[in-house]
Amino acid sequence: MRILWFSANSYSDMCFTSQRELANGLTNSGLDVHLINEDSSIPDSDTSWRHVGIKSSQIAGLKGYSLAKNMAKWLSDDDHSEPTVAVVDWRLITQLCPVLSKKNIPWILLDRSPPADVGLLAKLQWSVWRRAWRLVAKHKHSKGVVVSPKHQQFVQSRVAVDSTKFTQLPAGVNLDTFAPAATISGLKLVYHGRLDKHRGILALPMLVRKCQSAGIDVSLKLIGDGDCYTQLSAIAADMNSISVYPQMSLDEVAEHLRDSTIGLLPMPELDVWAISSPLKRSEYCASGLLIFGVDHAGHRFDDNNYDWMKLVPQYDFHQDCIAWLSKLTQREISKLSQASRNFAEQELGWEHSINALVECIQSLND
């Protein structure tokens, strides 16, 4: 069976990780995956699927629309006759849906996250997002994938979509790429992902200052790009204990995590974070890191309490972190690190989401 995967992300985007792992998993399951996105080319050594590059406008606000429009034209000209299912990013389905319907191609809406931007762009994106889910509700031969039960509830609270239309695909992790170091020492904090103000990132340098005032020797690495990058770099220039790095390859991120002991989840309890399944959480775990963050559903793995994971109310973030760090011994860190990695090996491999996606595809092809 042929799978046409229409992605709104570039291969170089940090958030493309999930799509790459899922697409590779589908290929390994015997499906013929074609990844269609804006890249002119991608590293063949990193993929097991075919790639089609589609041009798009570089004008802000028109990029997504022009990409979807050009993808729809490509699909119209596609004359393959074998059984096909499309996987389509929510930002692209409005333009692609008429062509998919005309060709009788069932499709799956890919929603790894609702709009996470702020401002005018976010308002425009929300209308596109709602329209995408209305199409799922309307079309018989369609499904939608979300990352968590909370995410599904969030969708259904805004658009009337039957529960049978959903498949949940939580973020997994590549257990070979992300692995613990042989030995770890010290309180080395790390965050990787978007360095945006509305993600609570600016609380992290203040955390380091307060730890040092309390006599706790910590360091902090921040990895990524965003609207706080320049400000964080300026702070790091005055604090030897803080390092800021631009966006980098997944292998490079994995190396930095191996050199760390505690992964941070500072995102506040806003809807977009409370329904999420952040990749970094699984990557921290696979790397044998302890985890500290704000307590909400998007940061929890489940309803269980884990000794290696400390989640606290946002208003107590600094105070509770200092109290927790002050009690950690090197022996305890090593023990909790092993428990964190064990959890990842048992629960967080991509095979769980890949199997669920294969079942979703097969249900549309029956």
Can you give the three-state secondary structure of 308-333, one letter per residue?
CEEEECHHHHHHHHHHHHHHCCHHHH
CA distance 202 to 197: 6
From residue 259, how far is each of 222, 279, 284, 329 by CA, in Å?
13, 18, 11, 17
Is pLDDT above 90 for 183?
no
pLDDT tens sequence across 73-113:
999 999 888 899 999 999 999 999 999 999 999 999 999 88
pLDDT tens sequence across 261-320:
999 999 998 777 777 777 899 999 999 999 999 999 889 888 888 999 999 999 999 999
The CATH classification number of 187-347 equals: 3.40.50.2000
Give me the pLDDT at residue 119, please: 63
CA distance 117 to 15: 14
Give me the pLDDT at residue 61, please: 63
Give me the pLDDT at residue 116, please: 64
Burial status of residue 16 (CB atoms within 10 A of its CB: 0-12, 13-18, 19 or more): buried
Helices (H) and strands (E) in the chain, counts: 13, 13
Domain range annotation of the chain: 2-172+350-365, 187-347
Token pair for residue 51? 């790639």
The CATH classification number of 2-172+350-365 equals: 3.40.50.2000
Q: How many CA atoms lie within 13 A of 251 on its CB side?
A: 1
Domain 2-172+350-365 and domain 187-347 have a common topology? yes
Give me the pLDDT at residue 171, please: 85
For 20, the 3-state DSSP assignment is helix
Element (H or E) spanning 284, and its range? helix 279-286
From residue 254, how far is each of 22, 102, 204, 245, 258 by CA, in Å?
19, 44, 20, 13, 6
Token pair for residue 249? 């390859």
Give me the pLDDT at residue 358, please: 96
